[in-house]
């Protein structure tokens, strides 16, 4: 064609116009197909997400329900196990107390006799009851380690805590250190006098009775220690055969066996669910979505094929327009309105051919 296009007239412009309109039609169709392709792609993605979400939620729910059923049984069994153990411990505690009471009865009877004998000696000799206290023996006749320790604590309280307490509370801000010395002197006189008074008026006159009471008290303490040893031995004794608790043990064994059985069944059920039931559920849910997804994917494939064909047409016509017309008319003139103006100028006689019409249009 080359320059022959510029010498053409209305017929030539109408041919170009038809090509432009055809290209425009393909471009519009391609745009619509691209939109439809995106819409279908979004629909497919949404359906696939719905499929995955429903599958995940269903599997999670079904497994949770399965596990909950077994856990409910295990909870009931554990509660029953705890109840039986509590009853066993209660029954064992009662029978253990009875055993302790029985095995310590003789020692407790002896202690009752010792307590009565002590009371009788004190009363017969008209000895004050204070002479039957640990504090009295610790202060006036210390012998055991406990009594010696109590004696030392008494000394610390009397000659350290009390004097310093009085000094700091009443005299520290008003007097010198001599006040502390005075407090010590007064305290020594008072405590010493009281100590000597108790020693001379109570201890010495009743010394034989006090010594006899000490021997009885020592025997009383030894009996108490033996009672505690018996109690400890019985409580630490692992042999429960003497308490007749076999019925509880048999029931606890039955519960333990049942717990093991339910636990094993739960493991097997979960394993079956994960290896078999899961695939069945997936297949069932996938089957419900299959027809709709297949239809959408078929429509998507058809649209993609049409879009590719249309896009090829757009490329084909664009290339043809570029080769045949753009070089002579210019790309901006290859539109229906611009071509109609060129046709109008030739039709009105303003121009003889396309070249003249184009020149008039460009100089406007």
Give pLDDT, residue 244. 85
Judgement on whether residues 108 and 214 belong to the same structural domain of the protein: yes
Of 178, 211, 238, at which residue does a domain stop? 238
Indicate the angle between helix axes 336-347 and 10-103, nearest 10 degrees.
170
Would you call 354 exposed, middle or buried from its count of C-beta atoms within 10 A (0-12, 13-18, 19+)?
buried
- What's the Rg (C-alpha) of the chain? 57
Place of tokens 């039931």: 277
Give pLDDT, residue 174. 65
Give pLDDT, residue 176. 62
Using a cut of 0.85, tell me whether the model's pTM lies above it: no
Judgement on whether residues 101 and 220 belong to the same structural domain of the protein: yes
Give pLDDT, residue 175. 62
Judgement on whether residues 99 and 231 belong to the same structural domain of the protein: yes
Give pLDDT, residue 230. 92
C-alpha 2/C-alpha 328 separation (Å) is 8
Q: Which domain holds residue 212?
A: 95-238
Number of domains into which the chain is organized = 2
Going from the first residue of the chain to its last (364 residues), give the mean pLDDT of each consecutive group of 10, the final group possibly shorter.
68 84 89 94 94 94 94 95 93 91 93 93 89 87 87 86 79 68 83 87 89 92 93 88 87 95 95 93 93 94 94 88 78 80 81 78 71
Separation of first and last alpha carbons in the chain: 27
Judgement on whether residues 291 and 267 belong to the same structural domain of the protein: yes
Judgement on whether residues 282 and 336 belong to the same structural domain of the protein: yes
Give domain status of residue 243, yes or no.
Answer: no
Distances (CA, A) of 189 to 64, 159, 162, 346: 85, 12, 14, 148
Give pLDDT, residue 106. 94
Give pLDDT, residue 159. 82
Judgement on whether residues 65 and 145 belong to the same structural domain of the protein: no
């Amino acid at each position: 064609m080359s320059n022959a296009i510029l010498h053409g007239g209305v017929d030539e412009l109408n041919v170009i116009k038809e090509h432009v309109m055809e290209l425009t039609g393909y471009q519009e169709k391609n745009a619509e197909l691209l939109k439809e392709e995106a819409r279908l792609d979004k629909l497919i993605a949404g359906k696939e997400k719905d499929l995955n979400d429903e599958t995940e939620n269903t599997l999670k729910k079904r497994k949770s329900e399965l596990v909950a059923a077994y856990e409910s049984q295990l909870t009931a069994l554990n509660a029953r196990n705890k109840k039986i153990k509590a009853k066993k411990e209660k029954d064992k505690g009662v029978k253990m107390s009875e055993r302790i009471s029985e095995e310590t009865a003789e020692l407790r009877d002896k202690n009752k006799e010792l307590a009565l004998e002590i009371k009788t000696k004190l009363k017969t000799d008209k000895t004050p009851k204070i002479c039957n206290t640990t504090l009295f023996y610790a202060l006036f006749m210390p012998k055991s380690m406990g009594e010696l320790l109590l004696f030392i604590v008494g000394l610390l309280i009397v000659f350290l805590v009390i004097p310093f307490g009085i000094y700091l509370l009443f005299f520290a801000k008003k007097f010198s250190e001599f006040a502390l010395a005075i407090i010590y002197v007064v305290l020594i006189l008072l405590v010493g006098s009281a100590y000597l008074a108790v020693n001379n008026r109570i201890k010495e006159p009743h010394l034989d009775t006090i010594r006899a009471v000490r021997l009885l008290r020592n025997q009383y303490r030894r009996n108490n220690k033996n009672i505690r040893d018996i109690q400890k031995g019985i409580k630490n004794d692992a042999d429960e055969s003497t308490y007749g608790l076999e019925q509880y043990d048999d029931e606890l064994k039955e519960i333990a066996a049942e717990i093991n059985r339910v636990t094993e069944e739960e493991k097997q059920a979960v394993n079956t669910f994960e290896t078999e039931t899961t695939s069945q559920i997936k297949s069932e849910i996938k089957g419900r979505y299959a027809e709709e997804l297949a239809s959408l994917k078929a429509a998507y494939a058809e649209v993609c094929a049409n879009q590719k064909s249309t896009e090829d047409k757009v490329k084909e016509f664009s290339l043809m327009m570029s080769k045949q017309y753009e070089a002579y008319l210019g790309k901006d003139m290859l539109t229906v309105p611009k071509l109609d103006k060129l046709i109008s100028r030739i039709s009105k006689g303003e121009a003889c051919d396309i070249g003249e019409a184009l020149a008039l249009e460009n100089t406007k």
